[in-house]
Amino acid sequence: MYLRALSLCICAAIYSVVQAADVPGADAAALKADLEKITGGRFSVTSAGVAGIVSDAPEAIAEMCAKHIDEVVPLQRVLAQFPKSVPPLGSVQVALFAKYKDFETFTVERRGACPGTFTYLHHDVPGKRVIAAFVLPAVPLLTRLRHAVSDAMLRACITHPPRWLQTGLGECMEHAALDPTGKPAFGYARAHLRDYRERVLAGDPPAKLAIKDLIALSGDEVDKKGLGAGLQAWALVRYMLDERLAREAKLFPRLLTKLDPHADEAKNTQIANDFFVEEEWEFFEKSLHRYIENLPESAAEKTWDKAQELLKQRAWPEAQKYLEAAVKADPGYERLHYHLALARYKQGLHGEALAPLDKGLQIFPEYNAARFLRARVRALLNDRDGARRDYELLLPTSYGDYARQELETLGK
């Protein structure tokens, strides 16, 4: 689901499961009894509009999630131009788990495996349609809930949508909102755009697929191609929802009405492919590429561009000044915080590097480069326990070998 998938290493966080019921009849009491039977714990129910929380986590977290979900359900219908003929999502029920092992037990029972991230667990039994999720700090938690809600909303009208459509819509809805004038706004592209440029366009070999090849991918093929396919799905769906001509032509809602609510994924993938065959491929490709190239990565675009030039030149003090200005202009972009910390670290300002690393990890807990740098900074500041915790959390990741070496050194 989320492109930069939530790592199993974040076991110290609180976790949650979200149950999404897209037809009437979902029973919070039955879910509560089921969770208590699975965990042996005690759960309570918190409600707000269409959202209901079945929880053994703090009440404040349950209330925050319920209110946020109740707000974004109608908002997302507007943002995605859902036709009036598309049935609304009936209710969203959320079970907040205070312990990861309980989350794991639940997802294994319902899905047969634990994905390590929040995920939509779809069944033909309405009462067992669930979105499993972790409770993290507020920013990533609510971002991921928005993604999960969009998944549930799509499946409320199309039981088995094409995988690229499901993935792309969820990614777009993570930061979508209405601007002050009431128009849809899909936010700064941030990490999506950075990863698209670096991993799709500049990959070796380039991972970019033609649109006609992307939309023909089966769900398994999308999964096998991983991040590259997910990023291109994000780009295509964002184009349909946000590019002026595509939005005026109602490209996304027209596609939605073509899909068969009761067909399997293969059939709906073919329907989507047939729908797009009517378009002029060459024009479509050029228009999409032009749209993505003109997206801003950050609210501090020019300042960030200058900072990157200085970072490449290893002009650390000068880069630090631009990065401090960039963070002030765009405090929600974790990459700015990381590079500000890096510029300070390179100057030996270890104590000053810690705060931006903490902030970056609050925004994106799986930012492994930031966690690795924070571990080093903590070690240099004689916080050996803190450094050890960070290194241990990195062991299951691509930083595992480096973390293992650092732990050996730390233990001497």
Q: Which helix (H) or strand (E) holds 9?
A: none
For residue 117, being part of any structural domain is answered with: yes
Which of 40-54, 120-134, 388-402 is the most confident on average?
Answer: 388-402
203: CB partners within 8 A, 6+ apart: 228
Cβ proximity of 51 and 65 under 8 Å: yes
Q: Which of 157, 192, 223 lies at the terminal end of a domain, its last residue?
A: 157
Q: Does the pLDDT at position 337 exceed 90? A: yes
Residue 171, domain member (yes or no)? no
Q: Answer yes or no: is 177 within a domain.
A: no
Structure confidence at residue 330 (pLDDT): 97
My answer on whether 50 and 150 are in the same domain is yes
- Within-domain flag for 211: yes
Task: Report the mean per-residue pLDDT for the chain.
Answer: 86
pLDDT score of 12? 32
- Is residue 349 in a domain? yes
> Which domain, by its residues, includes 376?
301-410
What per-residue confidence (pLDDT) applies to 91?
79
- Please give the share of the chain, as a percent, with pLDDT higher than 70: 89
pTM (2 d.p.): 0.87
Residue 328 has pLDDT above 50, yes or no: yes
**pLDDT score for 107:** 81
| 140, 27: one domain | yes
Q: What b/e sequence results for 59-78 when a residue is b if at least 16 CB atoms lie within 10 Å of its CB, and e otherwise?
A: eebbbbbbebbbebbebbbe
User: Is 361 within the bounds of a domain?
Assistant: yes
User: Within this chain, do residues 188 and 283 fall inside the same structural domain, yes or no?
Assistant: yes
């705060």: which residue's tokens?
355
Please report, rounded to a whole number, the percentage of residues in the chain having pLDDT higher than 90.
56
Tally of domains within the chain: 3
pLDDT tens digits for range 11-37: 333 334 444 444 333 467 888 898 899
Residues 281 and 404 placed together within one structural domain of the fold: no
Do 117 and 20 belong together in one domain?
yes
Q: Report the alpha-carbon distance of residue 10 to residue 410 in Å, rounded.
A: 21
Domain match, 331 and 402 both? yes
pLDDT tens, position by position, 104-138: 888 888 777 777 666 666 666 555 667 777 777 88
Alpha helices, H only, 88-201: 100-111, 138-157, 163-173, 190-195
Q: How far is CA 374 from CA 167, 185, 367, 390, in A?
A: 31, 34, 11, 8
Judge whether residue 165 has pLDDT over 60.
yes
